[in-house]
């Protein structure tokens, strides 16, 4: 097994913290973002590689695959973390708000996984970890598009787990709750306190709470775990 991980949406937040942890665990880390960034500089690891990737572009994904294949850097671990939000109440939601979120969060995940799954099947080893959201489990006002995309990821991952389990490839989901990232900065301190009242642990999570779960699912300790959705949300949603 090669220790190479590909993380989409790795320039900040959960993706960046995940890259740091994998690098510290001895992985060759490859990160992508919609815009140019220096992953090696951000995580202080000169071996880390950064690539621009547009999840809405089929050609962009194909180019990344070809580049990594030519450099013998095809990953054994894939973390589908990249995604966007375009929040709006449903009655005001524009078609493009729906289309862009579904195209990026769901169709982009499909294409990236489709591109990189074949080498895993050939090698009879792989770890696929898809990042959903508590919004995909319980819904959230103003996020019909985002919640739909994140809910679909769970069905995608479970179906993939059933197809690929015999090839020693696991497929799991991590569903973060309210985490201290750029995506929660729109809440002021009073709103955060109000939200925290509904969280049994009475606080927002940190990016390393999520990253540690992702790293675990890629580890040997999780080699018999597949088709599962693990919520990292302080108990906000239980099912």
| Band of residue 158 on the pLDDT scale cut at 50, 70, 90 | very high
Q: What integer pLDDT is reported at residue 186 of this predicted model? A: 63
CA 82, CA 106: separation in Å to the nearest integer? 10
| Band of residue 183 on the pLDDT scale cut at 50, 70, 90 | low
Indicate if the pLDDT at residue 154 is higher than 90: yes
239 is catalytic: no
What are the tokens at 127? 């770890």
Strands annotated E in 82-210: 126-131, 169-176
Q: What integer pLDDT is reported at residue 188 of this predicted model? A: 72
Q: What is the pLDDT of residues 10-39, one digit of tens each?
A: 999 999 999 999 999 999 999 999 999 999
Indicate if the pLDDT at residue 190 is higher than 90: no
Global confidence as pTM: 0.95
Percentage with pLDDT > 70 across the chain:
97
What are the tokens at 62? 């194909």
Which CATH number does the domain 4-232 belong to among 3.10.129.10, 3.40.710.10, 3.40.50.720, 3.30.830.10?
Answer: 3.40.50.720
Indicate if the pLDDT at residue 89 is higher than 70: yes
Long-range contacts of 32-39, Cβ-Cβ distance < 8 Å, separation of 24 or more? 32/6, 32/7, 32/8, 32/64, 32/82, 33/9, 33/82, 34/82, 35/11, 37/11, 39/10, 39/11
**Which comes out higher in pLDDT, residue 161 or 196?**
161
Q: What is the pLDDT of residues 91-115, one digit of tens each?
A: 999 999 999 999 999 999 999 999 9
Residue (of 15, 87, 1) closest to 55 by Cα position: 15
Average pLDDT score over residue span 62-76: 98
Indicate if the pLDDT at residue 125 is higher than 90: yes
Q: What integer pLDDT is reported at residue 238 of this predicted model? A: 86
Indicate if the pLDDT at residue 185 is higher than 70: no
**Which comes out higher in pLDDT, residue 217 or 185?**
217
Domain locations along the chain: 4-232
| Contact (CB, 8 A) for 52 and 32 | yes
| Band of residue 78 on the pLDDT scale cut at 50, 70, 90 | very high
Q: What integer pLDDT is reported at residue 214 of this predicted model? A: 98
* Strand order across the 4-7 sheet: 49-52, 28-33, 4-7, 77-80, 126-131, 169-176, 229-232
* Active-site residue (options: 27, 146, 224, 239): 146
| Band of residue 134 on the pLDDT scale cut at 50, 70, 90 | very high
């Amino acid at each position: 097994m090669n220790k190479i991980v590909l993380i989409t949406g790795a320039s900040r937040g959960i993706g960046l913290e995940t890259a740091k942890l994998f690098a510290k665990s001895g992985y060759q880390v490859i990160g992508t973002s919609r815009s140019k960034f220096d992953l090696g500089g951000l995580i202080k690891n000169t071996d880390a590689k950064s690539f621009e990737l547009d999840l809405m572009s089929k050609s962009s994904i194909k180019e990344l695959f070809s580049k990594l294949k030519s450099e013998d850097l095809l990953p054994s671990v894939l973390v589908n973390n990249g995604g966007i939000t375009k929040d709006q109440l449903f009655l005001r939601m524009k078609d493009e708000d729906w289309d862009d979120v579904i195209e990026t969060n769901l169709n982009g995940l499909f294409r990236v996984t489709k591109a990189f799954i074949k080498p895993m099947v050939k090698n009879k080893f792989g770890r696929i970890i898809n990042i959903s959201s508590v919004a995909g489990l319980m819904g959230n006002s103003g996020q019909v598009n985002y919640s739909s995309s994140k809910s679909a990821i769970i069905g995608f991952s479970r179906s993939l787990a059933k197809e690929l389990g015999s090839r020693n490839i696991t497929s799991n989901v991590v569903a973060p709750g309210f985490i201290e990232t750029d995506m929660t900065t729109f809440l002021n301190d009073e709103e955060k306190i109000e939200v925290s009242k509904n969280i049994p642990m009475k606080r927002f999570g940190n990016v390393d709470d999520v990253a540690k779960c992702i790293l675990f699912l890629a580890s040997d300790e999780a080699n018999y775990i597949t088709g599962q959705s693990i919520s990292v949300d302080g108990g906000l949603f239980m099912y």
